[in-house]
Amino acid sequence: MAGERRRIEVLDVLRGFALCGILLVNIGPITHMGYEAIEAGRISGPAAPELWLNMLVAGRFFPIFSFLFGIGFAIFLDSAADRHPRPRLLLLRRLVALGLLGALHQVVHPGEALLPYAVFGLLVLVPASFLPRWAVLAGGAAGTVAGVTVVSGGILLIPGMFLLGMAVARYRVPQRLDRLTGWTGLAFALFAAAAVPAALWQWGEVENTGFSTSSAVAGLVMAGAYVTGLCLLMRTPLAGALHRLFAPLGRMALTNYTTATLVVLAAGWALDFSAQDRWGALFALAAAVLAAQWVLSSLWLRAFRYGPLEWAWRCATWWKVVPLRRGTRPEERREAPAAA
């Protein structure tokens, strides 16, 4: 049992990888990049960098993050059930605390994901925790299909991805991933093959990215290719480098996601992003923010077991002060940190 409670490293890597893509997509909306030019009628169509962001990044990483949240929810529930008589009470506190943080984050970033995650967690994941895993999987598949066909993705894709992630965790796929390389390779091949026609479909109406079925379908299948491809790479000699690159960001994803908003807002104001599209500055800002966060996360995690907001979230969940420094309360290490 203790071995299964070890941190599932591939989840940290996937979470850090998704964080990078989400930042690239979020900088424009957070800074209102080019909004003044649009209002003045000086923008006629998407620039080449925007086209490639739409084709390779936008709509690809949000499903990954939602899927990982569902996995983490289920892992945490299993862990909490072993150490608390009312594990769903912990989950309710966890989601309420996330919602309060999300409500604060909405003030500076109205398009943020934490508040919707908390709301859908309460409405979908908590009730689903009473269902058998096959029903959760069926509900996730149906919800995801509806999310990309009926409403063209976006926020209403969250429930389906939550349930799919929860089902994958309840079938214990993350814990057995090292024994499922063949199945992972098959899934990658299917996702990659589907991504080609889906991308061509999206390219035909790329200016409607985010508001079309084609962009939702392409985003979802490409997200699947990214996830399964990265999981395959984690079975190669590149695993160590990928872990060093992405895991520190992923282990402090909550802290990094929220603090990036403040840094991007300040930089966008200082560089006057709203006056015109500044794609070179956008990519440079994303690289600078991620590099700084990687350094700070790596240094922080040498001394502490959780990021600052991750630690506060745990304290709110357990309704007590959880040990933060490494080396304190060894028995606490059995807690499933992959659910963070």
Q: Tell me: the pLDDT tens digits for 58-104?
A: 999 999 999 999 999 999 998 888 888 889 999 999 999 999 999 99
Q: Cα–Cα distance between 274 and 264 in angstroms, integer?
A: 12
Of 162, 164, 170, 204, which Cα lies nearest the Cα of 187? 164
| 256-287 residue pLDDT tens | 999 999 999 999 999 989 888 889 999 999 99
How high does pLDDT run on average in the chain?
Answer: 90
8 A C-beta contact, residue 42 and residue 121: no
8 A C-beta contact, residue 92 and residue 186: no
- Residue 44 pLDDT > 70: no
Which residue range is the domain that position 225 belongs to?
3-339
Q: Which helix (H) or strand (E) holds 301?
A: helix 279-303
How many domains, in total, are found in the chain? 1
| 237-250 residue pLDDT tens | 999 999 999 999 99
Angle at 286 between CA 25 and CA 290, to 5 degrees: 115
Of 254, 257, 258, which Cα lies nearest the Cα of 337? 254
Per-residue tokens: 325: 């420094």
The pLDDT value recorded for residue 338 is 44
Share of the chain above pLDDT 90, in %: 77
The pLDDT value recorded for residue 334 is 42
Query: pTM for this structure?
Result: 0.90
Average pLDDT over residues 37-65: 79
Average pLDDT over residues 29-52: 74
The pLDDT value recorded for residue 43 is 54
Share of the chain above pLDDT 70, in %: 91
Q: Cα–Cα distance between 232 and 226 in angstroms, integer?
A: 10
Q: Cα–Cα distance between 80 and 102 in angstroms, integer?
A: 23
- Residue 330 pLDDT > 80: no
Average pLDDT over residues 195-223: 93
- Residue 3 pLDDT > 80: no
Let me know if 147 is exposed, middle or buried by CB neighbors in 10 A (0-12, 13-18, 19+).
buried
Q: Which residues of 203-241 are buried (b: 16+ CB within 10 A; e: fewer)?
A: eeebeebeebbbbbbbbbbbbbbbbbbbbeebeeeeeee
| 3-state DSSP assignment of residue 255 | helix
- Residue 40 pLDDT > 60: no
Average pLDDT over residues 140-150: 93
The pLDDT value recorded for residue 339 is 47
Rounded to whole angstroms, the maximal C-alpha distance in the chain is: 62
- Residue 197 pLDDT > 50: yes
Q: Quick count: other Cβ atoms within 10 Å of Cβ 281? A: 18
**pLDDT category of residue 41 using cuts at 50, 70 and 90:** low
